[in-house]
Structure 1
């Protein structure tokens, strides 16, 4: 296993729930530090590696570090735990899942329980919802639960590990969007290894709290005040069953990064990225966003006095589950596209639409 793969598995297998990203950010920074000139973090945990920190022209490449999770919301007298979402966690997939409950005393094991199929009344059968899913930690009272260090507000993540699927895909939880953190870190390593001297400052940004409203990106965009921002996130592979391509678009894992058109995406910057993809024969797909992209692109684009921003998305199967699945070739092509854009970008380019 290469050092990059070792980092990928360590980083993806570590829990990094929204608002509690510190341990993952430390892993990410430790991998990035050898290939950047300096780094900094902000008060809420966004981490930034910088190449050429004294350059006046600043380019950002960005991903978000947080994953969806749950909070302990209520503990019953007989020791069962009810939850609320931290981000877009899916109640439908929760029953029978194993979980880690993160406490000041350490991780406590638990399971989302569910009654057996042969004792449920099919005519009155309830589907999983926030009203009825619950966690069992093997306790028989509220006092016993609390003695384990569990209290209202403890964060909960699914117990799952990254795996290789048929030598073509990576599969696991939290590829949305720690796979983005991996990709931007690989771009920085590629720049270092190639010996390329960039004519601008490069800010490699791993933002927090995207899953609850792009908050980390909003904060760091005002801090850095970049001239250009390239954001990477995930989008849906719509060839999977149960997607309507007329509504969701037509994107296939393995056919390349997805480049988005929309108001927040600066058309001139997008054209530059597409030009690089065509020149370097990097396959890509196209998407259209209505109103907003729903990613950190929006936070950067509308920060300060407006920052030309573009979105490069990785097609992902089964988003917000424990089996998020991404094609290895797409991952490498996102890395290649960001790298090739950076080494070709001219800081003198005029992004004004009207002159």
Structure 2
């Protein structure tokens, strides 16, 4: 990955974007796509949609979607002593929250705070074995009372963990919110790549969707608006190459093994075959995972839009999902960009995806 693309990825994942509050991340996406795409719009939901027009008339419409929202917290109540109580935005693991540094993103600035925790010395054995419910946890920003807090923080303000992107050994990186700003990054990169290559046989729409973590909302509305013939969700997938994950139940996927291509009823079989053929022909490592039901991603709502869409799910293997230390391989990101860019030039016509 070039230094320029790494800087783009870092800026994007570190921009705060809990579901419903995505515009700091979307501003990054818009800036990097400005001058690249033929059309760049933002809809009423906050989805950012870029179009790279193909060569010809009445071309197949292809939509790539990666959601830019992340899990987070929301301020619910401020007590008289200035402690701030909160609720989850998306799937927050209550185990992980106590003792974390957080940013509360207010109207004027982001305020640093900590999630307080009783010292272990003052806990009895039962308390040590019990997960503290989120509604009983609180944020301390150092203020002495409610009035001081209210000068900085308001009910409804979003909260994120105060961590960003850092490098580990080899090509591994960690950050909060790779799920799924990494997907929005890949979509933007594919738009850039197709613009550079030119003469695509499709009209390519790249969408950075919103509110996926709370119900696939931006995916549902944007696919209805774009009305594509083909839709591909770009997501994170569970890497099972760590202790205590059952491969018999979850399949075998590893960080550094290449993009994960889903197979199952949520996936158009002809599009699946075209993806795997592209990987073979381009010498791109890939991994296959079975999804016997709906995938729980934007691919689900894409498939069911209007009269139906030929849909696929391509994921990057991720360790420690929905934690502040999500881990992935930069090489997997690059290979996913290669796979999707190569696929675009192998799409012939709409009819090739109709089952027979």
Alignment TM-score, normalising by the size of structure 1:
0.95
Residue of structure 2 equivalent to 1:232: 234
Shift of 1:12: 1.4
Aligned twin of 1:3: 4
Q: Give matches, 1:97-246, under 5 Å.
A: 97-125=100-128, 126-148=130-152, 150-194=153-197, 196-246=198-248
**1:17 equivalent in alignment to 2:21:** no
Correspondence 1:233-272 to 2 at 5 A: 233-272=235-274
SS in 1 for 2:84: strand
Q: Structure 1 segments of 4 or more deviating over 4 A?
A: none
Query: Which residue in the other structure is 2:96 paired with?
Result: 93
The match for 2:293 is 291
- 1:41: how far off? 1.1
Contact 1:55–1:201, Cα closer than 8 Å, also in 2: no
Residues 260 and 287, structure 2, Cα contact 8 Å, conserved in 1: yes
In the alignment, the residues of structure 2 paired with residue 161 and residue 345 of structure 1 have an alpha-carbon distance, to the nearest angstrom, of 38
**Bigger mean CA offset, 317-326 vs 110-119:** 110-119
Shift of 1:187: 1.2
In structure 2, what is the Cα distance between the partners aligned to 1:249 and 1:133? 35
1:71/1:84 contact within 8 Å kept? yes
Work out the CA distance in 2 between the residues paired with 1:283 and 1:189: 22
Contact 1:55–1:200 (Cα < 8 Å) also in 2: no
Larger mean Cα displacement after TM superposition, 90-99 or 63-72: 90-99
Structure 2 residues without counterparts, runs of 5 or longer: none
Q: Is the 8 A contact 1:79 1:142 kept in 2?
A: yes
**Does residue 344 in structure 1 map to residue 320 in structure 2?**
no
Once residues 307 and 72 of structure 1 are traced to their aligned partners in structure 2, the CA distance between those partners, rounded to angstroms, is 39
Distance in 2 (CA, whole Å) between partners of 1:158 and 1:166 is: 23
Query: Could you list the per-position Cα deviations for residues 66-101 of structure 1 after superposition, in whole angstroms to 9, with x for gaps in the alignment?
Result: 000101112222211111111112211111111111
User: Structure 1, residues 184-241: CA drift from partner, whole Å, max 9, x if none?
Assistant: 11112222223x3012210011100100010001001110100101111001111112
297-306 or 160-169: bigger deviation: 160-169
> How big is the shift at 1:144?
2.1
Q: Does 1:278 align with 2:280?
A: yes
- Aligned positions, number: 352
Structural RMSD (CA): 1.5
**Structure-2 residue corresponding to 1:36:** 37
**1:248-268 alpha-carbon deviations (Å, 9 max, x no partner):** 221111111111112111111
1:62 to 45, 49, 65: 65
SS, match of residue 156 in structure 1: strand
Query: Could you tell me how far apart the structure 2 residues matched to 1:348 and 1:309 are?
Result: 12
Contact 1:63–1:206 (8 Å) recurs in 2:
yes
1:27 aligned partner = 28
> TM (normalized to structure 2)?
0.95
SS in 1 for 2:305: coil
SS of the residue corresponding to residue 313 of structure 1 reads strand
Q: CA deviation at 1:348?
A: 4.9
Match of 2:83 among 69, 80, 102: 80
Distance 1:117 1:37, change over 3 A: same
CA 1:348–1:264 in 2, change beyond 3 Å: closer, same or farther?
closer
Gaps spanning 5+ residues in structure 1: where? none
8 Å CA contact 1:65, 1:207 repeated in 2: yes
